[in-house]
Structures are given as structure tokens and as C-alpha cells.
Amino acid sequence: MHPEIFIPLLLMILVAGIIFTYMNNSHKIKLKTHDILEKSIDKGYELTPEMLKSLNQSKSPRMLDMRRGIIILGIALATFLFGWIIPDNEATTVFQALSLFPAFIGAGFLLVWKLNQYSD
């Protein structure tokens, strides 16, 4: 295998692994929630619509938008600074240009956080 192919391939595998891990953990949480609901029904507990609604939204969407925006802007800043540290001018330009993508996505999340009228 050529060395110039190894790094992008490793990066793609890493991103796929992170996505798979997130989806797998999310699936496990949903299964545990269903098991708890099933056990509650078996024991005779009454499930109210408010309780079922609270299970679906464990975190405020307002806080999630702000949190995602800040984290993604942090990734953009880290990418920009990483490009700034590298002594090669071409690599510096590439990393600083790549940092624009997460910067705009993070700014979008923060804009949604600021403009939306949340009910919580």
C-alpha cells in the first residue's frame, strides 16, 4: 500500500468508527429504555403521557444546539491552529481552509440556538 493513501484511509476508518460507536451506544440506550418500560408495565405501574414524553427528550434542544455549536467551533479552532503550527505553507493553507467547514456549521448551530423560540 502506498504511504500517501494510508493516512486518508486511516482517517476515514476513524470517522466511521466514531459514527458506528455513537449509533451503537444510542441503540443500547433505546433498548434499555424499552426494557425499563416493559418491566414497569409488568409490575403494574401506570405510564402517563408526560412520562413517556420526558423519556424521548432527556436534554433540552436549546442546550443541545448551543453545546453542539460550541464543540464544533472548538474543532474548527483546533484545526485552524493545527494548520498554523505546521511549518509547511501549503499544509497551513489547507488546514486553515478546512477549518472553515466546521466553523460555519458551528456558527449555524449557534445561530439556530439564538433565533429559535424554544418551549423549555
The whole-angstrom separation of Cα 76 and Cα 110 is 14
Neighbours of 120 (CB within 10 A): 8
1 — pLDDT class (breaks 50, 70, 90)? low
pLDDT score, position 118: 67
Q: What is the pTM of this model?
A: 0.57
28-33 contacts, C-beta under 8 A, 24 or more apart:
none
Which residues, 6 or more positions from 62, have their beta carbon under 8 angstroms from its beta carbon? 113, 116, 118, 120
- CA dist 86 and 99 (Å) reads 14
Question: Looking at per-residue confidence, does 108 or 87 come out higher?
Answer: 108
pLDDT tens-digit series, residues 26-56: 899 888 888 888 888 888 888 787 777 777 6
